[in-house]
């Protein structure tokens, strides 16, 4: 058996909390010396302690934990694992949302710091040729889930093309179908260039769509190099340039992965090369 201090080290819980659990009837010592009052625990009690700590991490109060662990409501390992996996997914989502908000704050701060400075990117205006495209289109629930969804969609796209025996070419093109800015329910299309000869008689598939991405008379374009997670300042700079030059967006933004497949470029140490293209209208559409 172990004294309370020793059991505290084994379970990584303070002696004060162990006494508190004892008072609440959550985890009583295996033995208490009637003369000295010393509490003694057995190694078997670590399982109960782990359940208490896990349930606390899930957000249950100590009173609720007491009821869950009492009598017939005692949780088996499978139930505990299911609950912990659900909580893990919730925490991971919270982290993604926090990281997305942080990236937005950093991008806005970067823009403020750039005020009065020379433009950090070269932006060119050019026409865009029509492109034969194979794609998968989905609604992404939130901005924070964009990377996760796009990676899954590209995997789905390549698996579908392999099944249909259609060879993907380059580059990948992600399209953001949005009339205005939104942080939820984002209409996103992940595609890759294919041989135009496929389009006259394309394979019929429930997942992959084959179509021609139309030509664009004029588009503002910016090439970005760096991590995928730090692209927002470049996008904001491109939109700022469009506004300063009195253009208006005239179509959906295209994101071309010039350095290769996005899910490969996201590997640690890899630098992505991405071209952002936003169709625009001539500034003559503005009143003087």
| CATH code: domain of residue 16 | 1.10.1660.10
Q: Give the pLDDT score at 74.
A: 52
Looking at the structure, tell me whether residues 45 and 161 fall in a common domain.
no
Looking at the structure, tell me whether residues 53 and 171 fall in a common domain.
no
Peptide bond into 17 cis (omega under 30): no
Please indicate, yes or no, if residue 82 is contained in any of the structural domains. Answer: no
- Rounded to two decimals, what is the model's pTM? 0.67
What angle in degrees, to the nearest 10, is found between the helix axes of 46-57 and 4-11? 50
Q: How far is it, in rounded angstroms, from Cα 251 to Cα 59?
A: 46
Please indicate, yes or no, if residue 102 is contained in any of the structural domains. Answer: no
Q: Give the pLDDT score at 284.
A: 57
Please indicate, yes or no, if residue 106 is contained in any of the structural domains. Answer: no
Q: Give the pLDDT score at 266.
A: 52
**In degrees rounded to 5, what are phi and psi of residue 242?**
-60, -45
Q: Give the pLDDT score at 84.
A: 75
Total domains in the fold of the chain: 2
Looking at the structure, tell me whether residues 63 and 127 fall in a common domain.
no
Q: How far is it, in rounded angstroms, from Cα 6 to Cα 3?
A: 5
Q: Give the pLDDT score at 285.
A: 47
**CATH code of the domain in which 185 resides:** 3.20.80.10
- The stretches in the chain having pLDDT less than 50 are 72-73, 265, 285-288
Please indicate, yes or no, if residue 218 is contained in any of the structural domains. Answer: yes
Looking at the structure, tell me whether residues 129 and 199 fall in a common domain.
yes
Please indicate, yes or no, if residue 80 is contained in any of the structural domains. Answer: no
Please indicate, yes or no, if residue 95 is contained in any of the structural domains. Answer: no
Q: Give the pLDDT score at 159.
A: 96
Please indicate, yes or no, if residue 52 is contained in any of the structural domains. Answer: yes
Nearest to 178 by CA among 227, 221, 139: 139
| SS3 (DSSP) at 51 | helix
Tell me which residue range forms the domain holding 36: 2-75
């Amino acid at each position: 058996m172990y004294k309370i201090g020793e059991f505290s080290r084994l379970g990584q819980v303070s002696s004060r909390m162990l006494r508190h659990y004892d008072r609440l009837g959550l985890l009583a010592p295996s033995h208490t010396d009637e003369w000295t009052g010393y509490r003694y625990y057995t190694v078997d009690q670590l399982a109960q302690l782990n359940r208490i700590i896990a349930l606390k991490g899930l957000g249950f109060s100590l009173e609720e934990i007491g009821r869950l662990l009492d009598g017939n409501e005692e949780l088996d390992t499978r139930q505990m694992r299911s609950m912990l996996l659900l909580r893990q997914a919730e925490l991971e989502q919270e982290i993604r949302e926090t990281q997305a908000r942080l990236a937005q704050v950093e991008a806005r701060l970067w823009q403020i710091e750039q005020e009065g400075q020379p433009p950090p990117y070269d932006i060119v205006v050019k026409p865009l040729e029509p492109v034969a495209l194979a794609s998968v289109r989905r609604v992404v629930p939130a901005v924070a889930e964009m990377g996760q969804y796009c990676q899954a969609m590209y995997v789905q796209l390549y698996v579908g093309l392999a099944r249909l025996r259609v060879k993907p070419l380059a580059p990948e093109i992600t399209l953001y179908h949005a009339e205005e800015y939104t942080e939820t329910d984002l209409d996103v299309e992940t595609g890759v260039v294919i041989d135009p000869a496929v389009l006259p008689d394309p394979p019929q598939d429930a997942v992959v769509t084959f179509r021609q991405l139309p030509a664009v008379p004029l588009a503002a374009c910016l090439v970005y190099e760096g991590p995928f997670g730090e692209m927002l300042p470049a996008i904001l700079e491109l939109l700022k340039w469009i506004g300063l030059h009195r253009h208006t967006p005239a179509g959906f933004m295209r994101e071309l992965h010039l350095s290769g497949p996005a899910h490969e470029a996201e590997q640690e140490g890899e630098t992505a090369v991405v071209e952002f293209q936003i169709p625009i209208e001539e500034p003559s559409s503005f009143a003087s």
